Amino acid sequence: MKKPKNIVIFVSGNGSNMSNLITHFEGRTDGNIEAVFSNKKECLGIENAQKMGVNTVVFSKQELEEGNVAELVQLLNADLIVLAGFLLKIPKEFTSQFENKIVNVHPSLLPKFGGKGMYGRHVHQAVIEASETKSGISFHYVNENYDEGNLIAQFECSIDPTDTIEDLQKKIQELERKHFPEVLEKLIAQ
């Protein structure tokens, strides 16, 4: 039997995608959530990961930039690093060390509405203000530039003319809940 792939998740906020992934991979033989990393000690994601019995690591921006976090990830033999609402920019030294092993989900159809400052409500607001008729999520590999890594998969939803930012946010969260586990399953099967 094949050894399960080690997955490390990075979060900065509530960790709803993280919780979904931990639940999905619990007891499976193909993948294992090895640890949850965060740059925020007080974030709900860390608290929820601990309640779910997953090891957690809290680090500073400086520790990320100096390579300490990369060393820890290597010690965990991470096969896949998943950014699930992680807001700090990953340094070039880190991305080059884990090329095509860091995956992010972005709440728009990249290359539209990506880049620095484009996360969460900011993205949804920009999409609504641009009168787009569709939006969605983009899974991509992470490189040293915000939201510019190679695309893995995209899933879309329609936007009604009456949709608010909150309406769009709910549609995007539903896409993430549905597709995040299946995309990771495919990646760890490669």
Pair 151, 139: CB distance under 8 Å: yes
The pair of structure tokens assigned to 3 is 């050894």
Q: Which two tokens stand for residue 179?
A: 């597709």
- Domains of the chain: which residue ranges? 5-189
Which of these CATH numbers, 3.40.640.10, 3.40.50.170, 3.30.420.40, 3.30.70.980, describes 5-189?
Answer: 3.40.50.170
The pLDDT tens digits of the residues spanning 14-59 come to: 899 999 999 999 989 999 999 999 999 889 999 999 999 999 999 9
pLDDT band at 1 (very low <50, low <70, confident <90, very high): low
> Residue 76 to residues 20, 172, 190: CA-CA distances in angstroms?
21, 31, 20
User: How high is the pLDDT of residue 181?
Assistant: 96
**For the chain, what percent of residues have pLDDT higher than 70?**
99
Judge contact between 109 and 154, C-beta under 8 A: yes
pLDDT in tens, 94-109: 999 999 999 999 999 9
Q: Please state the pTM of the whole predicted model.
A: 0.94
Which is catalytic among the residues 24, 106, 124, 179? 106
Distance CA 17, CA 3 (A): 24
Question: What is the dihedral sign for C-alpha 96, 102, 107, 108?
Answer: positive
Respond yes or no: is residue 124 known to be catalytic.
no
pLDDT at residue 2 is higher than 80: no
